[in-house]
Amino acid sequence: MPIVDYERYREMLDKAHAGNYAYPAINISNIDTVNAAIEGFVDANSDGIIQVSTGGGAHSSGNLGDSVLGGISLAEHAHRVAARYDVNIALHTDHCTTDKIDSFLKPLIQETARRRANGQPNLFNSHMYDGSDLPLEENMAHAVPLLEICRDNDIILEVEAGIVGGEEDGLNREDVDVEKLYTTPEDMLGVYEALNGVEGAQYMFAATFGNVHGVYKPGNVVLTPEILKNGQDAVVEKYGEAARFWLVFHGGSGSELSEIRETLSYGVIKMNVDTDTQYAFTRPVADHMMKNYDEVLKIDGEVGNKKMYDPRAWLKAGRANMAARVVQACEDLQSAGKSMGK
């Protein structure tokens, strides 16, 4: 089968939730990173999630800069490749801010609706709406109608309350008020009460606990995972165990493994991985260029070495190293060896 269907995706998330582990959600921006992500999940015998941001979609469409076209192209490639392997792969779109709902999120949902009308599978399994820069009431005012549209198309919506600091994909929140980096129990109750009113819908919640996008040395990012526990406890106390969230961890680069593992016990079932896999891809490419400098360049009238400057040579090295980093992510999040298989 290609990308998982709605019921299989829910089964994946429920299994992770019950088993206290999470799936890496790997950002992709071209065919090689799609292949690297899937190959890493296969090597780890882990189910997993790959995701496209607005920037990744724009990049993959070349000079057109069309994030929707690029997102569709990457998703279609992922469908075809995933069908050849025995692990389950889900497709997701990353941060979509309020100003890009109409230009990115809704067109992709409409593409899925068109495909469903023709008897084809969903293009994406889930989408993220990021209204975390807005007051919670306004954030949820946008999220609720999006959740209704997603429900009608068997799509899971991810929302965020509380801001992830740092900078990623052109979204800069490096100077945000520190207090906004932490989601309160009252925020979590507000999210539940707003979204639970959409009957039959499924959603994930990116609550923040000091998360920062970007790359930092271990120990430089100060997380407070207990915030997740306190929020879950508040929701469960008021609405029962069934109200417990599927939580998402953003901005994990530089986090201590002990802190990552702690979040799993509080309901984190998805952790975004982008910065670390970007570096993992680029590192062997840089190594290839520096070690083969006089072969990848035509120096002093020489012709170089075609085998060394053929993009397939260094892209293959980058893909393999990125796949290895995906394996590490699966091991860190304890999804390795737990694929449900097809």
Asked about 94 being catalytic, the answer comes back as yes
Q: What is the 3-state secondary structure (H, E, C) of the chain?
A: CCCCCHHHHHHHHHHHHHHCCCEEEEEECCHHHHHHHHHHHHHHCCCEEEEECHHHHHHHCHHHCCHHHHHHHHHHHHHHHHCCCCCCEEEEECCCEHHHHHHHHHHHHHHHHHHHHCCCCCCCCEEEEECCCCCHHHHHHHHHHHHHHHHHCCCEEEEEECCCEEEECCEEECCCCHHHHECCHHHHHHHHHHHCCCCCCCEEEEECECCEECCCCCCCCCCCCHHHHHHHHHHHHHHCHHHCCCEEECCCCCCCHHHHHHHHCCCEEEEEECHHHHHHHHHHHHHHHHHCHHHHCCCCCCCCCHHHHCHHHHHHHHHHHHHHHHHHHHHHHCCCCCCCCC
Q: Catalytic pick from 14, 43, 86, 94?
A: 94
Residues with catalytic annotation?
Answer: 94
